[in-house]
Structure 1
Amino acid sequence: MKDIMVYDEAHYFDVGTSETPDIELGGVITELTESSNPTEQEKQYIHQKSKITKTTGYSNEFPITMDMVKGDKVFENFYEKFYLRKTGNDLNIDHYIVNLWENETEANTYKARKITQTVSITECNGAAGDQKQITGSLKGGDFVYGTFNTSTKTFTPNV
């Protein structure tokens, strides 16, 4: 048995363009929580005392807090979206969630998920004498399951 620590899950983001991908490790993230936010439907038939709950979908959301560090490509990408008040597809980013505790047969290759999400940075804050931070959420998207090679920074979907 092994405790799985926060650092055993790596979060990579494609901060490049569709023509020139640039997949970077989210290095200055201080907090990131995965919330599935299930969509549920309740139904009760006349012969039942209790309702039945069915999950009909998910509204994936990852609340995030990042330190503001000049030179970190992921921070700079997220901050630019906030600063320029971008909208629509300009807010999308490919997010790779890599389970570093689940190594596949190939070296440096791990079980992973890819999800295209909307970056929604809502605050830029900091108290006197503290480092500034940005906070918000990565929202939406469906997962593609596969593997991620941390050396080549490539995602291979399951067949």
Structure 2
Amino acid sequence: MMNETVMRHQIADYLNTGHNGTPSFALMGVGFNTLDENPNAQTDGKTYIHQKAQTSQIKNYQAQFPFDTDLIASQEAVMALYNIGRNQKTGSEAEMEYVRVELFQPHETLENTFLARKFKVAVAVTGISGVGGESVKVTGTLHGVGDPVYGSFNTTTKAFIINP
């Protein structure tokens, strides 16, 4: 078996842009220059009486997904993020569902289905900017709200399936 490096295009990102409780996952592709994952492990440390160095323990995570997009009006996911910042939405109006799909990990039996995690995120748009002659950029961070849900995602039907 060869060692294969996972490339960025092997991770697909989807944003639920649906309304009235009906999910509609839009691919976060065209327009997105970067969309990173920072688990941000939070540690708790203590130095016991017999130690010189601190003992650390992971106590929780504060997931963050910084993004940088070009403002492309025809791209549903880009426009959903832009509208949160443009309209200065807060609280639950600034929260969305976000799915990160690992295309390099196909489901054992289901076609077009891959391992995925679904996050509830608070969208923090930190910039809508552009200089003369260049495209407008929308930048910010998707902040994790609560625990992720583990499952699979069908890239054809765009349905998230929770692991049993």
TM-score, length of structure 1 as denominator length? 0.96
Q: RMSD across aligned C-alpha pairs, in angstroms?
A: 1.0
1:12 aligned partner, one-letter code:
Y
Deviation, 1:43, is: 0.3
Which portions of structure 1, spanning 4 or more consecutive aligned residues, are displaced by more than 6 angstroms?
A: none
Distance in 1, Cα, partners of 2:70 & 2:6:
24
Whether 2:161 is the aligned partner of 1:156: answer yes
Q: Does 1:120 align with 2:143?
A: no
Partner of 1:132: 136
1:2 Cα deviation after fit:
2.1
Identity of aligned residues (%): 33
After TM superposition, give the deviation of residue 3 of structure 1 in Å: 2.2
Unaligned 5+ runs, structure 1: none
Unaligned regions of 5+ residues in structure 2, if any? none
Partner SS for 1:16: coil
Residue 39 of structure 1 aligns with which residue? 42
1:83-131 per-position Cα deviation (integer Å, ceiling 9, x unaligned): 1101000011110000001111211000111000001001011222111
Instruction: Within 5 Å, give how 1:17-28 maps onto structure 2.
Output: 17-27=19-29, 28=31
CA spacing shift, 1:145–1:18, aligned 2, 3 Å: farther
| d(CA) in 2 for partners of 1:57, 1:20 | 31
Cα drift, residue 18 of structure 1: 4.3
The equivalent of 2:149 in structure 1 is 144
| Aligned residue pairs, count | 159
Report what 2:75 is aligned to.
Answer: 72
